[in-house]
Structure 1
Amino acid sequence: MQTTRLNKLLEFLKADPSDPFILYALATEYNTAADYQQAFHYYNLLVEQRPDYVGTYYHLGKLHEKTGNKEKAVEIYRMGLKAARDKNDNHAFSELQGALNSALGLDYEDD
Structure 2
Amino acid sequence: MKKSYRIKKEDEFQKVFFGGNSVANKNFVLYQLEKPGQKHFRVGLSVGKKVALRANKRNRIKRYVRQSLFELKEQIPAEVDFLIIARKPSIDLDMFETKKNIQHVLKLGKIIEETE
Q: TM-score range by the shorter chain?
A: under 0.3
Higher percent of residues as helix: 1
Q: Which of the two has greater strand per residue?
A: 2
Bigger radius of gyration: 1
TM-score by length of 1: 0.28
**Bigger relative contact order, structure 1 or 2 (CA pairs below 8 A, ≥6 apart):** 2
TM-score by length of 2: 0.27
